[in-house]
Amino acid sequence: MRAGVLNVDKPAGMTSFSVVRRLRSLTRARRVGHAGTLDPLATGVLPILFEAATRLSEYALRLPKTYEAEVHLGACTPTDDAESEPQPVAPAGHLTADAVAAALGRFVGRIEQRPPAFSAVKVDGRRAYERARRGDLSRPAPRPVEIHSAQLLAFQPGEQPVARIRVTCSSGTYLRSLARDLGEALGVGGYLGQMSRTAYGDLRLEDAHRLDDLGDAAAVEAALLPPEVVLPADMERVRLTDEQEAAVRRGRPVRVLPEPRSQLLRAHDQRGRLIALGHADPLRRTFVPDKVLS
């Protein structure tokens, strides 16, 4: 199996790891991983990294993600989503689309967000969900996240209103927390219903592959995208000569002309294949490899 990225449309009911396990079994690839966990109830874009591309996960996680989700208002749940029983908070029949849109807009920007009690965030060395399962439903401490945009797509009024929203945000943002906090801002409580990740960087849901359509290793390999699709768009690309490539593969810096314009660089061989990630040494005008891909 060659290195690459598979854009998978994760179905509801599967964990992200179960998708990885299924594809590892199907392809017999040595290294398979995912970039950015989706909750079991969620659907949508899940990048699966194969072979050397697994080493790019830390860069992939920096990419913005876009979600479309339903927020149920007037109640809350211990898990902040529909996996647990809703508990009424306050009447919500008076809410209007304008009021919901205005409240949603206040979350755009860099904010402090408290993750759900049932989350993978570590608290005193233990996962929050482990504490929650033992009855400790206190939420982890707030942490900074960035919401680039938040839009109200539709609003269903009534005694149990539902808002459909589209959100583009940074890694680490919990839509469950946003749903909860939106409900609190409106004074009625809220929790997350259906959710789909519609974009992950340049990966789009309309281009994603359903697992049921990938019947064997050949089908998976044919659907693989180049590893660099999960790298930030502003990471400058440099082309190496054959001699430079040999040096970089041994971890040695090479002189790159003209002078690189950015600090983070990605190096490609003469055929355009991604060879390494590294940084520029502006004094020596060299590319210094930090991570060489096999």
Active-site residue set:
39
What per-residue string of b and e applies to 146-171 under the rule 16 or more CB within 10 Å gives b?
Answer: bbeebebeebebeeebbbbbebbbbe
Residues sharing a CB contact under 8 Å with residue 80, sequence separation 6 or more, in sequence order? 116, 117, 118, 174, 176, 177, 179, 180, 191, 192
DSSP 8-class letter at 117? S
Q: Which amino acid is at 227?
A: P
**Phi, psi dihedral angles at 13 (to 5 degrees):** 95, -15
Q: What letter represents residue 281's amino acid?
A: D
Residue with tokens 């979600």: 67
CA distance 145 to 176: 14
Question: 110: buried, middle or exposed (CB in 10 Å: 19+, 13-18, 0-12)?
Answer: exposed
Q: Which of 35, 2, 3 is nearest to 19 (CA)?
A: 35
